[in-house]
Structure 1
């Protein structure tokens, strides 16, 4: 059984940043990632363009050069993959953490392939794995997906997109441009205010000209094999339908966090407890890094403002090691 100063759970950009910082400071580490390098980014839509400019996605001051000011998914995959390989980071891919328990002063981390002992654990798992369900009859039908990949699949189909955020609006526009008949179902009174500033006018114009139908202040009531029933201010509306993209956001794995012993706030934000000065949770030696720190406020933390978590955490661990040896 291998032992490390720190086990980093999650091989996304912030998990990679933590590995880089650990290596720089002489802290023994391993990164455990259940999928490929930057698994969440890999599962983003193939044509996705980031809201942030390339320099804001950089980690450890390693330059990120992109063709446009705001890079696309494939450029980000290339950037982070090159960082991992050129720095020979100790990362195990396609190895899923199934259990983590504190035993005295150390942690036992079990995966589907091996077991590890660590003095510290960093959870940098993001929030992209668990979609926010709309909880209506028919949501489990094969025609319904909470993830969107390629617009070609929906060409010439009647598509309903549920949501008003960046992911929903991007999907609606791309699928419409590939020939889908697109209808948006939006819970609020307008397109989401956080939608990318160069995209929001585009979707509003498409709606106003009638190219894309939008139902505001509306929700899905039931999904059937060939139709969808929605509740609107004017009453129920039945729409013919082939596919549904329920792009209503994602949430952290709170069950996993609670199992680790991390205290969560009782309000709807479900904020995890941690010290912003060290990123250490209420469990000694257990740290949080990246977007998972925001609980349900998934818009609060991004790569650009959470990459600082890596040096904060590793400095804390290094200081602990120094005190221990002293």
Structure 2
């Protein structure tokens, strides 16, 4: 552990697209800055499914005025990884990866930040940590069995297996269709009476037709009640059903690291929405700002890359005016 403190005007926690955008704005404003991430560059995007396609068009994912050129109208995960890596190279952003923030406390007007590798001192801190680290749990018996996944990468692994998919939004639909096309026997458990309203419009007819023809079995208005080693119990309007099962893909969504925010003294309301000024993005802690999805609390559908890119400019404008 290095003892020499490194001093910056701005310390950014999270090297996702919004964290990188904040770094670019700091650089433009002539502020010294560092971007720290406990994982790899754009770690959440890296953990997306291998064949994932974005809902947004490429220009809406651009940061720093760098064109995002994609072969298709909607870019995929690999194109996004390449784009954000090239943006990082172009601006020669000061990024420190695989370095976890362990504490951040304000003393005498400066933030004292300790990470897994070193110590920093910063006038301002920006939290741009996203929401993909902590899955929403179902809190049912058997959820901790090894056959249960909350993160899905590649359909081949599930070929010729019996896969139970929980959820009715984009991630659930992608898992169901992709594993079905690799020969899996797929069953979906859906809480509502139909697919989620946010399912990608070009995918919706595909999943609805597969269910209609019986290629994918779906239990609507149902809940997964218990997961056993070789089966799963589903609570349906007609009563309980137990089916043979090899894997459970619990695509139940994710949430920001609220404990981390509370540790940094950020106030959360009853819906876990952090307190911040919508003009400046400053939290209840003076000099500590929030950017990106982390601002939405449990509502992780509120902020995306395309509508939270502006947070970087709002924050830097305030920092520049304050100093």
Alpha-carbon offset, residue 78 of structure 1: 0.3
1:313 maps to which residue? 315
Within-5 A mapping of 1:86-101: 86-101=90-105
- Specify the SS of the correspondent of 2:187: strand
User: What is the DSSP-based 3-state SS (H/G/I as helix, E as strand, rest coil) of the residue aligned with 1:217?
Assistant: coil
Query: Which residue of structure 2 lines up, in the alignment, with residue 35 of structure 1?
Result: 39
The C-alpha deviation readout for 1:290-309, integer Å capped at 9, x for no partner, is 01111111001001000000
The SS at the match of 2:18 is helix
TM-fit CA distance, 1:101? 1.1
CA distance in 2, matches of 1:85, 1:258: 33
Residue by residue, what CA displacement relative to the aligned partner does 1:111-169 show, whole Å, maximum 9, x if unpaired? 11111011110000000000000011110000001000000000000000001110011
Q: Distance in 2 between matches of 1:100 and 1:138?
A: 36
CA distance in 1, matches of 2:169, 2:120: 39
Instruction: Give the Cα separation in 1 of the matches to 2:106 and 2:141.
Output: 41
Q: Which residue of 2 is the match for residue 281 of structure 1?
A: 283
Q: Secondary structure at the match of 1:5?
A: strand
Distance, in Å, in 1 between the alignment partners of 2:89 and 2:39 is 16
What TM-score do you get using the length of structure 2 for normalisation?
Answer: 0.98
Residue 261 of structure 1 pairs with residue 255 of structure 2: no
Counterpart of 2:305 (choices 300, 303, 310) is 303
Q: How far did 1:104 drift? A: 2.4
Task: Report whether the alignment pairs 1:128 with 2:132.
Answer: yes
Deviations, residues 276-302 of structure 1 (Å, cap 9, x unaligned): 110000110000000111111100100
Deviation at 1:224, TM superposition (A): 0.6
How many angstroms apart in 2 are the aligned matches of 1:92 and 1:142?
A: 32
Residue deviations 1:13-47 (CA, integer Å, cap 9, x gap):
00000000100110110000111110000000000
Taking the TM superposition and a 5 Å limit, the aligned residue runs for 1:173-184 are 173-184=177-188
Q: What is the CA deviation profile of residues 166-224 of structure 1, one whole-angstrom value per residue up to 9, with x for unaligned ones?
A: 00111100000011000000111111010001011110000000000000111111101
**Paired residue for 1:214?**
218
2:26 to 22, 29, 32: 22
What residue ranges of structure 1 are gaps of 5+ in the alignment?
Answer: 322-326
- Look up the SS of the partner of 2:173 in the other structure: helix
> Who is 1:272 aligned against?
274
Q: Which runs of 5+ in 2 are unaligned?
A: none
* 1:203 equivalenced with 2:180 (yes/no): no
Establish whether residue 225 from structure 1 lines up as the match of residue 193 from structure 2.
no
Q: Secondary structure at the match of 1:275?
A: coil
1:155 counterpart (155, 159, 170):
159
Structure 1's consecutive aligned runs of 4 or more residues displaced over 6 angstroms after TM superposition are: none
Aligned-residue RMSD, C-alpha: 0.7
Partners of 2:320 and 2:32 in 1: CA distance: 11
- Taking the aligned partners of 1:53 and 1:176, their CA distance within structure 2 comes to 27
1:193 to 189, 192, 197: 197
- The aligned runs of 1:102-113 (5 Å cut-off) are 102-113=106-117
**TM-score (ref. length: structure 1):** 0.97
Q: Distance in 2 between matches of 1:104 and 1:281?
A: 18
CA separation in 2, counterparts of 1:213 and 1:119? 55
